[in-house]
Amino acid sequence: MFIALAGAGTLAGCASTVSMSIQPPAMNVRNSISMDPQHAEEILHQIKGRNSGIEQDPLWIQRAYQKPMFKNLHQVPEREYAEFSKYLANGSVYIIVHPAYYTFFHDSELFPDNLTGATTQNAMDRFLSATAFSGKAKLMKAQEKVLRDFLEYVSTEKKLVIMILPKGYKDFSAYKFRDAQNEYLRFLNEVTNESDSVLYLYSRKPSRGMLSVKDRKLLLKFLYAVRPKEILLGGGYVGRCLDDFYRDLEQHYGEEKLFIVPEIAAVSPADMSEKMSSDVITREGLIDIRKLALNVRENLRTRDNAAVKTRNLSNTPDNQ
């Protein structure tokens, strides 16, 4: 995997492939935010070293298929909750619902299910390297890449991320690797970099985003101890599993601190027409974040039927 501080690859005619290099998250979208180039270069250097080093070791790859290399929130003693405040990103915590759901679970005709047969290249990289022809396919690949790069970057920075993973996904009928090695687990282990700042819980069902009552209470107790200024939500899909989680948290935590981050919040291809999908992707293969943010606010509503609040990756409002 190559790492570079550069823009995403350009489109070639009607077909496109995605640049495989890890980008600072904001560089995968149009209207990208400003960043410290030196800091970004340092983080990318660390990611490159790990991706080309330990994560290419056959023994590490074998271990990556077996168990999570990041903690379940249940494994964290309550007395240690407040200590996680040191990982807050400018005072915020990121919660990602069902990361990379499209690649590993979505039964779609956009791409054939030909990702089996583990190699030194993980399933996500194989998916991203496939050529996309339709607007929907280009959008889904762009969304998956932004989230992949985001998780690589913020876990290396040691920013607080809580992932809500699909419960029982290994036996879920939609999981593409039920009869193969656990590619989803390998992907998660690779992008979270064994970071102490990454935690996870399971959703109540593999196709729904809400938590069990027990896990919701646990998460709320953790959030009250960490005391984030804001809770920044991403994952998939807007209006579906992400909607489940948003409404559940809104009801029990309040909406004042809840924000959706459109760059890392995937929209299902079933909820986007071909024209809409093509409109969100620029000629350079980047996501037009303002258009995507508008779509997010139209598809995800609060309990009072108001548009949800959004923030971009610079942690600034984007409700225009």
Positive or negative: CA dihedral 105, 109, 111, 117: positive
Average pLDDT over residues 229-258: 90
Q: Whole domain around residue 199: which residue ranges?
A: 25-299
Amino acid at 281: I
What would the pLDDT profile of 171-219 be if each residue is shown by its tens digit? 999 998 988 899 999 999 999 999 999 999 999 999 999 999 999 999 9
Is 288 among the domain residues? Answer: yes
Is 13 among the domain residues? Answer: no
SS3 229: coil
78 phi-psi bin (left φ>0, alpha ψ -120 to 50, beta other): alpha
What would the pLDDT profile of 80-133 be if each residue is shown by its tens digit? 999 999 999 989 999 999 999 999 998 554 444 454 544 567 888 888 888 877
Is 319 among the domain residues? Answer: no
Positive or negative: CA dihedral 99, 147, 189, 268: positive
Is 209 among the domain residues? Answer: yes
Is 203 among the domain residues? Answer: yes
| Predicted TM-score of the model (pTM) | 0.87
- In percent, how much of the chain has pLDDT > 70? 82
Is 191 among the domain residues? Answer: yes
Q: Using an 8 Å Cβ cutoff, are 167 and 204 in contact?
A: yes
User: What is the predicted pLDDT for the residue at 268?
Assistant: 82
In the chain, how many domains are there? 1
User: What is the predicted pLDDT for the residue at 148?
Assistant: 94
What would the pLDDT profile of 277-320 be if each residue is shown by its tens digit? 888 887 777 788 788 777 777 766 666 777 788 888 755 444 43
Is 317 among the domain residues? Answer: no
Is 60 among the domain residues? Answer: yes
